[in-house]
Amino acid sequence: MRKLHGAFGSASYQNASPLGFASLHGEEDEGTQLSAEAAHRLRLVRAATYVQRAMRIHNMIFHHFARVIFARKNGRSSDHGILQFPAHGTEAHFLTIADTTPASLIVPFLIKVWKLPRPAIIISVTGGAQALTLPAPLQEAFNKGLVSAATSAHAWVITGGTDTGVMHLVGKAMHDAGVEGKVPLLGISAHGAVNNRDKFDSLKFGHAVYQDPRKPSVDGAPISPHHSHFLFIDSGREQREAWGSEIVVRAEIEQYMMKSRAVPMVLLVVQGGPGTLATVLANAKLGCPVVLLSNSGGAASAVSRFVQDGGLDEAFDAPFMKATPLEQLEQIRRLHEASGGKLLSFFNVGAESMSTSMLQAIVANLTASPPKEPMRPAADGHVHAHGEAGGAVQGSKGGSTGDAPEPLSRRSSLGEDGHESFAKALLLAVRWDRPEIAKPILAEIEARGMGFAKGTMQRVLQAAISLERLELLRLFVASPGFEVLGLPGIALAQLYP
């Protein structure tokens, strides 16, 4: 029995193996009488072994064969490989999939096969897809703010992927800052509207050279050479008919990351036309914070004026003064008011940095209390739109119900008292190195009488020490309960990689 007890004592979920299980099973068959507790533990080891074996097989199959699991709209296996941009010296992974592919398959592929690091936040950028030029001060603020936010917060940045409009600005900002390839920049594009797609169609596991593409037109646009990854969404439609066919898939990927992976997201709006209002409204209904570049013109400026000033300017906002845009603007305003004024953030040059605006928007969402009297604006047909090239497209399978915003990050928090949401807010403040934002978070925790969860404090302190955030460390250690709960759990080995 001593040998059997030793075998059970060393058994755990982590070290259970088919071989170890077989030896335990053998002793049971030889007539050894097991106590009820020992038999129960044996069954647990057996179950853990089966689960581990199944997971190993699943991961192995997914890693090696995921690309052939996906398919094009016509039923052919998906095209995939690496695109090379010789004129820029860059490369990007790509995958072409049908527009019916579920996000529950796409996201594991991004993480397990393409090895994208799990993000702390998602920055989804939308707005004008035509020629777009920002004033020099706003361009500089946009570049610095986006790069700072993406690098500090370990973000994924998602755009429409073409080399036009705001998508071109995002790619160029990453390239000029020297972080190209270091921050996942995912372009989700309509396959049928990508110029010169014949260069990579039918490719399997190889490389394709993408150069000298046709200039953008109503029938298509070239892709950005400064994105790191592309998902081309195949709807079976071609040229101008294909515009917007990627929108539902993109929305579902973003919603899946927020709901199932509990990753906070911020929508960054730069200029844009009437179709951009649908994107803002759809995200507002989900409780996703929205940061608008108020000085950029178009939809961003129209929303800012309508919400902040109570109306539009005929000289600048004529495209938004029709019935549908006005109804969307009114719904956006009501949702913003229902959130206590925390849903929309308006960035102007000369104020705080755009990076800080995005952090404040996310933190406000994570730590917000639910509205006392939810408002129910009329449904808008569940329209989602990213970019103006193809206008708005109907139909998100995960569409909104039209209710007041409900922060997804709080819905998916791990504790009823919201500890997980506050932990994420503190971790973002640490990564961004913003003590002035961490202070009100700590004050809110104390004001609500939530106390400090031990695991939360350990994670926050570990991050602050690893990133050498000295001012934040002083702030945390001075907070009641931090020094008791947090310091004993610090893993010193992680400080010396």
Phi-psi region of 251 (alpha: psi -120 to 50; beta: other; left: phi over 0): alpha
Residue-level pLDDT at 379: 39
Cα 14 from chain centre: 30
Q: Does the structure show a pLDDT above 60 at 111?
A: yes
pLDDT averaged over the chain?
79
113 backbone dihedrals φ, ψ, rounded to 5°? -100, -50
Confirm if 209 and 94 have CB atoms less than 8 A apart.
no
Among 336-345, 470-479, 481-490, name the one with the lowest average pLDDT: 481-490
Q: What average pLDDT does this structure show over 135-144?
A: 86
Nearest alpha-carbon partner for 265 in 242, 291, 232:
291
Q: Does the structure show a pLDDT above 60 at 246?
A: yes
240 backbone dihedrals φ, ψ, rounded to 5°? -65, -25
> In whole angstroms, what is the distance from residue 351 CA to residue 330 CA?
26
Question: How does pLDDT run across 400-444, given as a tens digit for each residue?
Answer: 334 445 444 433 333 334 567 788 888 888 888 888 888 888 888
**Parallel, antiparallel, or unpaired: how do β-strands 229-234 and 204-209 relate?**
unpaired
> In whole angstroms, what is the distance from residue 135 CA to residue 140 CA?
9
Residue-level pLDDT at 222: 95
Q: Which residue has the higher pLDDT, 252 or 67?
A: 252
Query: How far apart, in Å, are the Cα atoms of 270 and each of 197, 223, 346?
Result: 27, 19, 11
Q: What average pLDDT does this structure show over 474-492?
A: 63
Question: How does pLDDT run across 445-457, given as a tens digit for each residue?
Answer: 777 766 666 666 7
pTM greater than the 0.85 cutoff: no
Tokens of 477: 């250690």
Residue-level pLDDT at 157: 96
* Ordered alpha helix ranges (H), 192-322: 247-259, 274-285, 298-309
Furthest C-alpha separation in the chain: 91
Q: Packing angle between helix 165-177 and helix 136-152, nearest 10 degrees?
A: 70
Percent of the chain with pLDDT over 90: 33
Cα Rg, the chain, nearest whole Å: 25
Among 53-62, 70-79, 468-477, name the one with the lowest average pLDDT: 53-62
Q: Which residue has the higher pLDDT, 392 or 366?
A: 366
Residue-level pLDDT at 123: 94
Residue-level pLDDT at 380: 38
> In whole angstroms, what is the distance from residue 490 CA to residue 278 CA?
46
Confirm if 192 and 245 have CB atoms less than 8 A apart.
yes
Q: Which residue has the higher pLDDT, 447 or 143?
A: 143
Tokens of 44: 């647990």
Residue with tokens 């915003």: 405
Query: How far apart, in Å, are the Cα atoms of 52 and each of 21, 47, 58, 101, 331?
Result: 12, 9, 10, 27, 49
Q: Does the structure show a pLDDT above 90 at 328?
A: yes
Residue-level pLDDT at 1: 40
Query: How far apart, in Å, are the Cα atoms of 367 and each of 168, 251, 290, 292, 425?
Result: 33, 24, 16, 21, 7
Nearest alpha-carbon partner for 442 in 467, 422, 466, 464:
422
Residue-level pLDDT at 352: 66
Q: Packing angle between helix 419-432 and helix 354-366, nearest 10 degrees?
A: 170
